[in-house]
Amino acid sequence: MIPPVIKKPIFLIPLTMAAAIILVSILAWRALVPINQKNGFGRNFITTKLTMLRVSKPTEIVAGIAGITEHQIYFKTKDPSKLWQTDQNLQNGKLIALNIPNNSRIASAFYSTVDSPFVHVMACNGPAVIKADLSGKATSMYRFPTALFTRAVVIGGDSYIFRGFDTTLRGAGQVFIKGNPKTGELLRNNLVKNANDGTGITSDGYLNFDRSSNMLVYVSYYQNRFYCLDTNLNLLNSWNTIDPGNTLEVKVVNVNGTLTNTTPTRIINGRGQAFNGKLYNVSRRQADNEPAGLFSKNDVLDVYELTSGSYLGSFYIPYYEMEKVSDFKVTENSIIVQYKSYIALYKRPI
């Protein structure tokens, strides 16, 4: 028999809420216990605090860093036909209109890369590449005889490297493709694949091109590895990251024509950039000698030498005004960082 006083709302309301919170807490605790165990590696920090040089707030929503010229910095927007341009101090921002169609197919997934005086818009679901003049005049559109692509970089002139699906290679999942629409060159290479990875999602990662070393770098999201290729898609080397974690298999299913994972994804490597013979890789794994408070409020970058795979050290890119890092680009002397509402310039530590 429940005492009448317990039936009063002043007791029942907090009891009900506490029961709900306890249930969720138990589920969360069970899920987090294996994750919070030590990951078995340590980091050498070059610095834990970057020096901020400039910060500004664009009046347009920026969605990535498209490129840098001698005097300007270009940011991608959600509209493939528009770029946000600033000077080298992130000031004097203005919208640049490009002679590019803005249809939903292009806008659904695209990369914008500035290679002055041109900008290349690579439409993943086209699949197509649109080469436009930054002054807003001429535009060329190229289609490739392959299926959709998920990653794309410009390696110079009219040559592009993609990672995507190739209808000529059955059951291969995603492959690397090199294409030049002017010369008609088309190369394919089925590197970086896992068993049971028909969709290429377990082997998914980010693709970068380092002009100074003329090397392509592919970093796996779910493996502790990165791959260095030449511009003819030959594998030069593959190196381990400092994280000794194993490959995390991602189970995938096809739902109404959309490929999606069926289990939670645990990313090892987030995003990164290859620059001047080094790889600046954002790791999603906390080191054993790293305070949880710092790891959760910054993006940690591990720096590697591309030719030897040597680990050179780590540093943090801080969150700003409680906003996480959306994109970053390393330059000769600085690091440009794009947040949701802000763009910032930091002094490069290595």
Partner 1 sequence: MKRATIVELIASLLILLFFYTAVSKLLEYQTFKLQLGKSPFITQFSSLIAWMIPMGEIFIGAALIFKRTRLLGLYGSLFLMTMFTAYIYAMLNYSYDLPCSCGGIISKMTWTQHLWFNIGFVILCIVGILLQTKLNAKGYKKLEIKHDELPSVVYTAFS
For position 265 contacting partner 1 by CB under 8 A, the verdict is yes
- The 10 Å Cβ neighbour count of residue 90 is 20
| Contact residue for partner 1 among 6, 23, 95, 259 (CB under 8 A) | 23
Q: Which residues make Cβ contacts (< 8 Å) with residue 22, sequence separation at least 6?
A: none
Residues near 2 by beta carbon (within 8 Å), at least 6 away in sequence: none
Least Å from the CB of residue 29 to partner 1:
9
Is 9 a binding residue for partner 1 by CB under 8 A? The answer is yes
Which of residues 211 and 266 has its CB atom nearest to partner 1 in the complex?
266
13 binds partner 1 (CB under 8 A): yes
Token pair listed for 68: 């840098």
Interface stretch with partner 1, choices 46-54, 57-65, 114-122, 258-266 (CB under 8 A): 258-266
Q: Applying CB under 8 A, what is the total number of residues that bind partner 1? A: 29
Amino acid making up residue 89? N
Candidate segments 23-31, 85-93, 197-205, 305-313, binder of partner 1 by CB under 8 A: 23-31
- Determine, following the binding rule CB under 8 A, whether residue 19 of this chain makes contact with partner 1: yes
Q: For residues 236-255, which are near partner 1 according to CB under 8 A?
A: 253, 255
Helix H or strand E segment including 14: helix 9-32
Using the minimum distance from each CB to partner 1, give the nearer residue, 18 or 95: 18
Of 8 and 57, the one with the shorter C-beta distance to partner 1 is 8
Binding mask 202-241 for partner 1 (x = CB under 8 A): ----------------------------------------
**260 near partner 1 (CB under 8 A):** yes
Cα angle value 222/227/232 (rounded, 5°): 135
Per the CB < 8 A criterion, the answer to whether 335 and 329 are in contact is: yes
267 binds partner 1 (CB under 8 A): yes
* Alpha carbon distances (Å) from 203 to 100, 176, 198, 226, 237: 32, 12, 10, 11, 17
DSSP character string of 84-137 = EEEETTS-S-EEEE-S----HHHHHSEEEEEETTEEEEEETTTTEEEEEETTS-
User: Binding segment for partner 1 among 20-28, 160-168, 270-278, 341-349 (CB under 8 A)?
Assistant: 20-28
Assess 17 for contact with partner 1 (CB under 8 A): yes
- Per residue in 225-239, is it b (16+ CB within 10 Å) or e — as a string? bbbbbeeebeeeebb
Nearest to 54 by CA among 270, 316, 336: 336
The site for partner 1 (CB under 8 A) is made up of 8-9, 12-13, 16-17, 19-21, 23-25, 27-28, 30-32, 35, 253, 255, 260-267, 284
